Amino acid sequence: MGGAIGLFDTESQLSPASLATLQTGAASFTLLGDFRSGDTPAGSARTRDYRFPNVLITAPIRHGHYAFGIGATTYLDRDFTVAVRDSIVLRDSLQAYTDTTRSRGGLSDLQLAFAFRTIPKTTIGFALHVITGTDRLVARRAFDDTSYTPVLQTAELSTLSWGLAVGATRDLNSRVTLSALVRKDFSAISLPGNKR
């Protein structure tokens, strides 16, 4: 359904209020595989990428009146490679080179959620989100003239942030349920990393 029921789906981790509908404990693990191909003036390439975008463990408490969940989801994927061809003048001679920039890493959203159903037909949930991850960056310049030494620069960027979410659902009747979610993610800070 294209994510249309995400606010009501316990396994989506979108709204913490959805946990209150649990009748039994659950655990889920998702594997996502990407297969890509690209054609550029520099050539063609095919890539395979495997990610684990959703891990979740949930459990009800006191006959389903309360529930908690812990999980991790992919917040941002930063895997990419960019190549650029250009030239500069060195020692009064025009030298062609290729700049390649590569990033591997991303951000994960770690969640601790709690929900309760104490008001008839209404559930309320709260979630604390910790957003963290590491990117490994590699920049390389290689000249067509092999008498020039290639230049390589690497860096590691670690990021940390956090967020809060409040969700609620209300059963109007047996066929209609309303849901609302408010989430605030705060500014990320960069942690010291390795540069070379």
pLDDT band at 119 (very low <50, low <70, confident <90, very high): confident
Higher per-residue confidence, 23 vs 97: 97
> Helix %, strand %, coil % for the chain, to 5?
5, 70, 25
Residue bearing the bigger pLDDT, 130 or 195? 130
Reference 8, options 190, 168, 133, 121; nearest CA is: 168
Q: What is the DSSP string of 54-75?
A: EEEEEEEETTTTEEEEEEEEEE
175 or 126, which is more confident = 126
Q: Is the pTM of this model over 0.85?
A: no
